[in-house]
Amino acid sequence: MTVALTAPATARSGASISVQSRLLVRSDGPRVVTQPATSALVVLQGTTVVARTTGVEGPAVPLQLRAGEQRPAQTVPDVLTLVGCDLVPLPAGSYAIQAVVGYGDDPLNAGPGGGPGRFTLVSPPQALTIT
């Protein structure tokens, strides 16, 4: 499974932009559960995270893995406001956006004595120019 991100290539400092994240299922597998608490959108300048929007509030979302399907990453926010961690609008410049999807094994799949694993998927960076 991989995560893909669609977002505008340019935006104004301090603006809120619409972002679409989707999960691309590469092969059949057991059901997983995506976690809002560990999902996010991040804005990077170089290798430094300069802004972060955490996952949407709500329950975990189960996802059956079937090869070839594309599913919305429901636990990742769909709006990103271009302000830094200090809530000051990000200055003009070159940045990248990445979607982070936290997920885990479905507890129903765990055998006796086994616990669910926890994992993170990160999208490739998408360039963003802030004006």
- pLDDT digit string (tens) for 25-73? 998 888 888 888 889 999 999 999 999 999 777 788 888 888 999 999 9
117 or 104: which leads in pLDDT: 104
Give how far the C-alpha of residue 118 lies from the chain's centroid of Cα atoms, to the nearest Å. Answer: 15
| Cα–Cα distance measured from residue 27 to residue 3, given in angstroms and rounded to the nearest whole number | 14
CATH of the domain at 42: 2.60.40
Query: Which amino acid would we find at residue 113?
Result: G
Total of domains in the chain: 1
The closest alpha carbon to 63, from 90, 92, 39, belongs to: 39
Domain containing 100 equals 2-130
pLDDT band at residue 129 using 50, 70 and 90 as cut-offs: very high
Question: pTM for the full model?
Answer: 0.87
Burial of 14 (0-12, 13-18, 19+ CB in 10 A): middle
